Structure 1
Amino acid sequence: MFNRKGLLVSVLLLFVLVLAACTNVGGNDDSDSQNEGTEGEEAKETDAEQVLKIANDQEPAGLDPHKTPAHSSVRIYSQVYSGLVSFDENMEVVPDLAKEWNQPNDTTYVFTLREGVQFHNGNEVTAEDVKYSFERILAEETASHIASYFSNVESIEVVGDYEVQFNLSNPDATFLSNLTNASAAIVDQEVIEENGDLQQVAVGTGPFKFEEWVADSRVNLVKNENYFIDGQPKLDEVIYYTMKEESARLSAIRTGEVDLTTLTAQSAELISNEENIEVKDYQSLEYSYVGFNVNAEPLDDPKVRQALSLATNRQAITDIVWSGDAVVSGPVAPSMGDWAIDVESHELYQHDIEKAKSLLEEAGYADGFDITITTASTYADMVDTAQLLQQQWKEIGVNAEINQIEWGEYIDTWSNTSADVLIGRNGSGTDPDRSLNYFFNTEGSANVWGFSDSEFDSLVEEGKVTVDQEQRKEIYNKAQERLLELSPNLFLVSPMKYVAVRDSVVNFTPYPHDGEDIVEVSKQ
């Protein structure tokens, strides 16, 4: 009996001890428990895979920053390359590869580079690389889309290993802001000599290194462990998946297959209330346009182009194509503030069918004419705009056939002016010089329309060298009025931009001038 009782007591005592031990795992002190929980959360955040997956709406058109303006390319190579200077979130010019600069006089800029910065292949960046990069941009054989940005550069001198001087032929109010362009990248001569160009390779100094491009599938970038800005980037890898169909991008962001994607207003509305997704919007610096080959009949007559402008109902484009989330725009997007004129009050922005018919009659096309509108098949807004214009122009006897083409062919068509009418979107940039000089000066790098007007050229060239801001505004106001009068393009609307982001993405803020600033982004 005693032995049985003793055994029972021993078993009970053992149970109590085990229970006490289990209760005391982690300690009885509340602060200890809280600390352990915090440490666990930190470990969880640290252990999160730092890979950002982005849906790209088009296949890149190439990776050479000096040659390729397509947004599907820019969004990738802007992460790989650096320029001398950049914009901060307030669109103030700040140092990038250049740690400082000074301007001894109105036509001289001297930049001092950061020392020890390396290209992704280990070569050190020196003043010689800066000189080579800009001479390549300006070389006729490069056919760079930003050559006209730097047409005032008379010469570039290497002052020292880390000091380079730009000598301008005239004062240039746009020079520093043009240097912030993603295409004004500093490149490695050795890489170009090895590969011919940079369309399939990318070796820069930016926060991410190019790793792989799988055609029609994805582009992989990996963290630059030697990036010259401490603590950046936070991500280990960025993957751009090519998803041309918006339905695919919408599905991918919903399921978590991608972390970030741009969407139209309609799709953004569909997921605006979904858990785990935030839709960020901002007024863009872009505008949609109708581009004319002004050397082709009947578009070589300004009265015909004016008639098409009067037949175009821009408010209907805003309401139908963009679900009301856009504003009527001229060549300078309204988001640029005082630089943009009030185009809605302009005579050619009024929807006036009778006047349009009268202008066609004066031009010798009383019965209208047949025309083909070319657009990119993979951009729904461009296709919708083309279809709406087809209906609107029919009211004045213009019979338009729509030609939808793939993105690569579209880029070639734009470059070669091989379409009489082209629907597209442009960026106004961060200075009216891009909006006007770059696209419409006779010598403008992106003037693919064959447009030439000496009065307009004189205005934008004067604006470029005028430092006084108020005087510049007056000059550019006149230039915008002249452009609307001659209508080499019909400027339509400037849309809101929408970015859908998974809630696992931390510190992502899109800006009008930089919709994909990801150096501080991380995953949790």
Structure 2
Amino acid sequence: MNRKTLVLPAVAGLLAPVLAACGGSDSGSKSGDAIVVGTTDRFTVTSDAPAPLDPAYAYDVGTWNILRQTVQTLLTQPKGEGVPVPEAAESCSFTDSGNERYACKLREGLKFANGDAVTAADVKFSIERALHINADSGVATLLNTIDTVETQGEREVIFHLKTADATFPYKLSTPVAGIVNPKNYDKRKLRDGFEVDGSGPYTFKAEVEDNAIVSATFAKNPSYKGSVEVKNDEVVMRAFRNAKLMGEAIDKGDIDVMTRAMSPAQIDKLDAGSDANVDLVDMPGLEIRYLAFNTNASTVKSKAVRQAMAQVINRGELVSKVYGTQAEPLYSLVPATLTGHSNSFFNKYGDPSAAKAKNLLAKAGISTPVKLTLHYTTDHYGSATKQEFEILQKQLNGSGLFDVSIQGHPWATFRPAEKKGDYDVYGMGWFPDFPDADNFLAPFLDKGNFLGSPYSNGTIRRTLIPESRREADRLNAAKSLTEIQDIVAEDVPVLPLWQGKQYVAARDNITGVSYALNSSSTLQLWELSRGVSG
């Protein structure tokens, strides 16, 4: 039986129900017992990014989804939703009332895949390594509240923080805090290429052509000790150039599971039950898309230009024409489903209005039309990105206030150029490191932010972010978080566009698909298995 499998939205602290796909057992991949997963994520080595899989460098959803299978962290995000739970650790907790001292005790008998013991010293090495290297990806900023790391014996690690940080347990569940073996990772430099070694659920081996991964094998790690139950022996991930080729592969049974990024048309087709052997699973997601600005660039240095763009862009039209019911308009960096969300952009700008935008530009003495180029990546966020930018171009030019052109670039060149400040305006997506409003604000606005943005607001950095992190009860952080969002709506260093759902498609003899992704878009390959349910 073909049907759409829906995981209902989960509230933090609650566990989403498991709804498994149902159907016959006469379908499946042509790769033996290994479960084959397709993706359009691109994993490449370039001169600008020679170490894409080093935990001290990696900072995008695709590379993190490789590391989460292979490199163990002290904590991990639970199967459903809620606060992080112990993984390499046996236990972790704040040991003071001020959320400034955090202690973890490792599980007994932990080993790296090569048989070496995992010790507290290895944890200390790994964390200090990421901070010391401080890669230009910006990932080390997740650990920037750490002052010192202390060990006591072989199994105890104590983190002394510079300031209170109630989100710190979430940060220890991210790959930048992954535990690596000092034998394989130099403390002073990144590990180039596609080798990954850790103590996670799987070992990893990549098949590479032209400096890009075309296929990767995740084999069950017999030495693994942790909180997850690995339900398969081997998963093969295949990288496709586009969603069309990935869709053809699942139709033919060459792959078992199809992950990000399917095209909107593919999702609609599967949702309608077009394939009796393939089921579509949708689940709540926290993915957002936004425009970012190099606020030092002459074209957008005046916030009036950025405000005028915020006043003109019609999110509702954009979403309906490109993504339909697969996305929703977003009026803040913080998704509507998270505690602390505020509709700050709608509160300030209301409905789209060219007349209001014209007044903003006139008051600032900006001549029109304002000439801009919007840059986007052609191969990282899905095949609909070009259409999205064509509509943005039409909306802005249709106001008579802008003269916009658009340019697409492959991710391998787009991301380094963005970090260097080569683009005045560019489109980005964000898959959260962890499901908390802080992670939709600090990475864009704090010192050393991952965009490399020159925008700096002292009130946000010195007062509001620290205030919000002092609150273990995140409801109590709402006031500070709302103030941050209101400042962003006023200054527009970034312009939020939409929030999306997430989807996985699987042939009907694959179970565990409902947990293949969590709300932070973390791929959990260990949940997949072969079988029949229904």
TM-score (norm 1): 0.86
Alignment of 1:218-367 (within 5 A): 218-229=215-226, 232-262=229-259, 263-272=262-271, 273=273, 274-329=275-330, 330-336=332-338, 338-343=339-344, 345-367=346-368
Alpha carbons 1:311, 1:353 under 8 Å: kept: yes
Alignment partner, residue 4 of structure 1:
none
Q: Contact (CA 8 Å) 2:75, 2:85: kept in 1 or not?
A: yes
Q: Which runs of 5+ in 2 are unaligned?
A: 1-23, 45-51
1:522 pairs with one of 521, 525, 529 = 529
CA separation of 1:404 and 1:102: change in aligned 2, threshold 3 A: closer
Which residue in the other structure is 1:103 paired with?
Answer: 94
The aligned residue for residue 402 of structure 2 is 398
- Which of 203, 209, 227 is 2:203 aligned to? 209
Aligned to 1:407: 411
Measure the CA separation in 1 of the matches of 2:422 and 2:88: 39
Question: Which residue of 65, 80, 102 corresponds with 1:75?
Answer: 65
| Local SS of the residue matching 1:380 | coil
Alpha-carbon distance in 2 for matches of 1:168, 1:68:
23
Within the candidate set 55, 59, 65, 1:65 is matched to 55
State the distance in 1 between where 2:108 and 2:350 align.
53
Alpha-carbon contact 2:84-2:170 (below 8 Å) kept: yes
Counterpart selection for 1:492 from 494, 497, 501: 497
4+ aligned runs moved over 6 Å, structure 1:
none
CA distance in 2 between counterparts of 1:380 and 1:490 reads 21
Aligned to 1:31: none
Provide the C-alpha distance between the structure 1 equivalents of 2:527 and 2:360, rounded to a whole number of angstroms.
55
Moved more, 507-516 or 113-122: 507-516
TM-score by length of 2: 0.85
Between Structure 1 and Structure 2, how many residues are aligned? 479
Q: Offset of 1:347 from its aligned partner?
A: 2.4
Q: Deviations over 1:90-125 (max 9, x none)?
A: 223211001012432132112110122111222110
Distance 1:220 1:508 in 2: 19
Q: Are the structure 2 counterparts of residues 514 and 313 from structure 1 closer, same or farther at C-alpha, using a change threshold of 3 Å?
A: closer
Residues 140, 260 of structure 1: alpha-carbon distance in 2 compared, 3 angstrom cutoff: same
Spell out the pairing of 1:26-37 with structure 2 (5 A cutoff): none
The alpha-carbon distance between structure 1 residues 229 and 158, as it changes in their structure 2 partners (threshold 3 A), is closer
Match of 1:13 in 2: none
Query: Does the 8 A contact of 1:437 with 1:461 survive in 2?
Result: no
The DSSP-based 3-state class of the residue aligned with 1:201 is coil
Q: CA deviation at 1:130?
A: 0.5
Contact 2:166 2:472 (C-alpha < 8 Å) held by counterparts = yes
Deviation at 1:222, TM superposition (A): 1.4
Q: Which amino acid aligns with 1:113?
A: L
Is 1:54 paired with 2:37? Answer: yes
Query: For residues 342 and 79 of structure 1, do their structure 2 counterparts lie closer, same or farther at Cα, with a shift above 3 Å needed?
Result: same
Match runs of 1:372-383 below 5 Å:
372-378=373-379, 379-383=382-386
Sequence identity percentage = 24
1:425-473 CA distance string (max 9 Å, x none): 11244112111112112x0431422111112222112212333433311
The yes-or-no answer on 1:480 pairing with 2:510 is: no
Residues 342 and 485 in structure 2, CA contact (< 8 A), matched pair in contact too: yes
Q: 2: distance between equivalents of 1:307 and 1:213?
A: 48
Q: How does 1:161-176 map to 2 (within 5 A)?
A: 161-176=154-169
- Residue aligning to 2:8: none
Does the 8 Å CA contact 2:326/2:501 hold for their aligned counterparts? Answer: yes
Letter in 1 for 2:334: V
Q: In proportion to residue count, which structure has more helix?
A: 1
Structure 1 residues 343 and 260, CA gap change in structure 2 (3 angstroms): farther
SS of 1:366's equivalent?
A: coil
Distance 1:72 1:125 in 2: 26
What SS does the aligned partner of 2:196 have? coil
Uncovered stretches (5+) of structure 1, i.e. residues with no partner: 1-40
Aligned counterparts of 1:230 and 1:482: Cα–Cα separation in 2: 41
| Residues 338-347 or 184-193, more deviating | 338-347
After TM superposition, list the pairs within 5 Å mapping 1:76-91 onto structure 2. 76-88=66-78, 89-91=80-82
Paired AA for residue 392 in structure 1: Q
Shift of 1:344: 6.5
The amino acid across from 1:54 in the alignment is V
Residue 479 of structure 1: how far off its partner (Å)? 0.7
Say whether the 8 Å CA contact 2:334–2:440 is kept in structure 1: yes
Find out whether 1:155 has 2:155 as its counterpart.
no
C-alpha RMSD of the superposition: 2.3
Q: In 1, are the aligned partners of 2:370 and 2:402 still within 8 Å (CA)?
A: yes
Residue 198 of structure 1, CA deviation: 5.4
User: How far did residue 231 of structure 1 move?
Assistant: 8.4
Q: Which has the higher contact order (CA 8 A, sep 6+)?
A: 2
